[in-house]
Amino acid sequence: MKTLFDKIWDAHTVDTLADGSCVLYIDREYIHEVTSPQAFEGLRKRGIQVFRPQQITASPDHNIPTRNQHLPVQDPLSAQQLATLEKNCTENGITLFKVGSPRNGIIHVMGPETGLTQPGMTIVCGDSHTSTHGAMGCIAFGIGTSEVEMVLASQCILQTKPKTMRINVEGEVQPGVCSKDIILHIISQIGTGGGTGHFIEFAGSTIRSLSMEARMTICNMSIEMGARGGMIAPDETTFAYLKDREYAPQGAEWDKAVACWRELYSDPDAIFDREITFDAAAIRPMITYGTNPGMGMPIDQAIPPLCEIEENNRPSFLKSLAYMGFQPGEKLLGKPVDYVFVGSCTNGRIEDLRTFAHYVAGKQKAPGVTAWIVPGSKQVEQQAIAEGLRELLEAAGFELRQPGCSACLAMNEDKVPAGKYCIATSNRNFEGRQGPGARTLLAGPLVAAACAVSGVICQPEI
């Protein structure tokens, strides 16, 4: 009677300390340019080498331009960060997918699509959205730089075993509801701290019916509830997605691997520390109105009036609305939109680009809107071109950019100016997340498409 989480965790526990902390073996570590340099510096200071370089893969993503990637990076600090990553990888024999190369991409898009991420694995990266990989049926979670260094040094990490939570979503979703709406709905109900200390397994008929891309969007945002990670038991959808991908097992190895992966599920009598069930039919297209991802609502509803907010939460609620330039109790429909960002590890996959491109096909981008359509990886970019999505986008007045994290965290030049409103398919609407003073409204790719062509906050026509 074990949970899926327990099965994988226990199989990777090298040792347990007297106080219950576990030495957890890590199958794969991904690194990028922003949170790894200080880890390598730490190794050098200690005079030690990377322990298992063949289990580490690097892909720069956070701090790279999304245009003209063939040219040298203009910002000297960004260029230095990229050069440092390359130097660290070369010196330590670590595989690096350089900017502009065929396998480069946001780590959480690249990992699954190259087949490096596989069911049953333990995976870490110095990025909180590492939870994305859990959609493949593995334990994947974000870590800090000191922990990145631990894994470089020992292929292990010391962790307290989290509690388990199962979130079931049952039934059929209504037309026009994307997986982003499902997860924004869940976070709006549970709150940004509701999953803290827990590892979540997403289950239920709705989750089972989702594509891998859609499952990744769900697991991606587990961290926005404070959870250590999210995961989904692997099934035929998972195996079909993974088969024949470059780093997936091949031939007889594949059959052997699939046989093992079929054992990866929570036993029927497994007990979770917490279990919640949602009705898929009740979920509507969502949007956020505040400055944390828990402040979400169906797009046609009104921001809660002050009387519905608990007294001790009111100062934070009002501070948040003041930042956004909204009033308690007001509706958002019809309000002007200045920017639209489609991309990120949440919604930068081929399905997201298809959804957006097919909606805007035959329509025109609203004149006042600046749009950034940023594929999550080089492979996604190439596939979008091959499928004719770029042509559809260009005919509608949109530009398909080059891959990277881009305006999700605005480390590069893709910044939303102060006071401007941006409909973003990314994962965080924190103050200043998309640039100092920028106002972010999180939504799915379909809502983003509807807003991009109308120039105002509106419901998608379906």
Partner 1 sequence: MIKPFTTLISTAVPLNIENIDTDQIIPARFLKATTREGFGQQLFFDWRYDHQGNPRKEFVLNDPQYRGKILIAGKNFGCGSSREHAAWAIYGAGFQVVISSFFADIFRNNALNNGLLPVQISDSFLARLFETVQAAPSTTLTVDLERQSVALTESGEEENFEISPYKKECLLKGFDDIDYLISIQSKIEQFEKNNKNNR
Of the candidate spans 158-166, 214-222, 266-274, 395-403, the one that interacts with partner 1 by CB under 8 A turns out to be: 158-166
Of 3, 5, 7, 37, which one interacts with partner 1 (CB under 8 A)? 37
CA distances from 144 to 34, 127, 151 (A): 11, 7, 11
Interaction of residue 160 with partner 1, rule CB under 8 A: yes
For residue 293, give the 3-state DSSP assignment: coil
Tokens representing 300? 């046609």
Of 92, 145, 188, 237, which one interacts with partner 1 (CB under 8 A)? 145
Comparison of 151 and 451: residue with beta carbon closer to partner 1: 151
Comparison of 168 and 247: residue with beta carbon closer to partner 1: 247
Interaction of residue 102 with partner 1, rule CB under 8 A: no
Comparison of 18 and 71: residue with beta carbon closer to partner 1: 18
- Output the DSSP codes for 22-57: EEEE-SEEEE-TTTSHHHHHHHHHHT---S-GGGEE
Closest CA to 32 of 72, 59, 54: 59
Of 90, 158, 327, 358, which one interacts with partner 1 (CB under 8 A)? 158
Cβ neighbors of 242 (< 8 A, separation 6 or more) are: 112, 115, 118, 119, 136, 248
Interaction of residue 74 with partner 1, rule CB under 8 A: no
Cα(188)–Cα(183) distance, integer angstroms: 8
Which 13-32 positions form the footprint of partner 1 (CB under 8 A)? 14-15, 17-21, 23, 25, 27
Interaction of residue 313 with partner 1, rule CB under 8 A: yes
Which 322-361 positions form the footprint of partner 1 (CB under 8 A)? none
Interaction of residue 156 with partner 1, rule CB under 8 A: yes
Of 53, 176, 197, 304, which one interacts with partner 1 (CB under 8 A)? 197
Closest CA to 136 of 117, 122, 164, 110: 117
Of 364, 436, 461, 462, which one interacts with partner 1 (CB under 8 A)? 436
Q: Please, what is the minimum distance in Å from the beta carbon of residue 459 to partner 1?
A: 29
Interaction of residue 49 with partner 1, rule CB under 8 A: no
Comparison of 89 and 150: residue with beta carbon closer to partner 1: 150
Cα(348)–Cα(425) distance, integer angstroms: 8
Interaction of residue 260 with partner 1, rule CB under 8 A: yes
Cα(405)–Cα(408) distance, integer angstroms: 6
Beta bridge partners of 387: none
